[in-house]
Amino acid sequence: MVAMLSKEHEDFRRVVREFAESRIAPHVAQWDSDHHFPVDVVQEMGELGLFGITAPQEFGGADGDFTSLCVAIEELGRVDQALGVTLEAAVGLGINPLLTFGTQEQKERWLPDLVAGRTLAGFGLTEPGAGSDAGATSTRAVLDETAGEWVVDGAKQFITNSGSEITSLVTVTARTGTREDGSAEISTITIPSGTPGFIVEPAYDKLGWNISDTHPLTFQGARVPQDHLLGERGRGYAQFLATLDDGRIAIAALAVGCIQACLEHCVSYAGERTTFGKPIGAKQGVAFQIADLATMADVGRAITYRAAALKDAALKGGGVSGAELKQAASVAKLYTSEAAVSATRIATQVFGGYGFMEEYPVARFYRDAKILEIGEGTSEVQRMLIARGLGLPVE
């Protein structure tokens, strides 16, 4: 399947680009320096409808397609990766699990504010001892049947949108029992902000994504009603895997935005900066590197929107298998994330000494890019999944 964006998608791209360039670009360097999470601008993103792109109209959404979400993430990421991932995580990890696995009552309780961007939700999977190996989850949730409550104890780390002033809840994976074969029974439970025993630790001092909200979380006897179980008990691991497939495509869109930004900044700089009486873009050593950036952007965009189109086809019952979608998501995520890291290295080289200065945006993109190879499944995990999809007996 070849992904061709429609006129409606391109019109929407222009709307998001105008917003990003007018409301984010003028302030992004200062926000990044201050590690400031701009709540007002995030809520403006909600007013623009970005958090509700894929949500049903019943909850205030646009009932749009997954491709449109990827377009929005790419365009935000072209200006700032951190606000791009804020949208990606808010929808992919906050809203979508509720939409996919929540009860009608859970949806009615939380989705209207999340879809409108008035509040945010996080997804707590990663722990100090459990990341790619999600089966090693040690956070526990014990059902107090007398009180009708789950009692949650444990810790999560690297959780996006988990501690902002507008965060309303975090969905966490937790051990809720042991299966007959001795393996952990893992379920997902929603824990509202402000729940006693739910402790949001101080924000991380990160290498990049300085504008995004990221915290470690601690749970010390945090109690939530029994009906805060999300989906079927014991299906938390499967729910997490399904959530990640979508997230990998969205991260690929974010990476494409990073590559596109590097391309545009380099084309502009190479046309203005002169050495030995000529623009540096006239020199093959520079021009060829920028040509590589253009190729990365085109290839990355093609395989990302191919995966997004497969996702949309699957949602419409278009005969797309889960295996086909999983393979396309991993291919897109692997290529684009590694290409983005290479693109930022090339851009920094093109800018020379200026590329090492924080006053130039390529330095920020350089810092932001590395996490793309780690979040939503590392490059090593993607290679393992792709190899398995080819039928190889990879352990």
CATH no. of 237-389: 1.20.140.10
pLDDT band at 224 (very low <50, low <70, confident <90, very high): very high
Residues recognised as catalytic: 376
Q: Which residues contact 302 (CB under 8 A, 6 or more apart)?
A: 2, 3
Percent of the chain beyond pLDDT 70?
99
Beta strands in 42-148 (DSSP E): 120-124, 140-144
CA 160 to chain centroid, in Å, comes to 9
Tell whether the model's pLDDT for residue 1 goes beyond 60. Answer: no
What is the average per-residue pLDDT within 309-318? 92
Q: For residues 388 and 377, what is the distance between their CA atoms, to the nearest angstrom? A: 15
Tell whether the model's pLDDT for residue 42 goes beyond 70. Answer: yes
Q: For residues 331 and 321, what is the distance between their CA atoms, to the nearest angstrom? A: 16
Each residue's pLDDT tens digit, 159-188:
999 999 999 999 999 999 999 888 889 999
Cβ count within 10 A of residue 10: 10
Each residue's pLDDT tens digit, 359-369:
999 999 999 99
Locate CATH 2.40.110.10 in the chain. Answer: 122-232
Right CATH for 7-118 from 1.10.540.10, 3.40.50.10490, 3.10.20.740, 3.40.50.2000: 1.10.540.10
Each residue's pLDDT tens digit, 123-143:
999 999 877 676 789 999 999
Closest-CA residue to 340 (of 209, 214, 212): 209
pLDDT at 4: 72
Locate CATH 1.20.140.10 in the chain. Answer: 237-389
CATH no. of 122-232: 2.40.110.10
Tell whether the model's pLDDT for residue 114 goes beyond 80. Answer: yes
CA atoms within 13 A on the CB side of 181: 3
Each residue's pLDDT tens digit, 84-101:
999 999 999 999 999 999
Closest-CA residue to 329 (of 266, 255, 227): 255
pTM of the predicted protein model? 0.96
Q: For residues 14 and 278, what is the distance between their CA atoms, to the nearest angstrom? A: 34
| 190 DSSP β-pair partners | 171
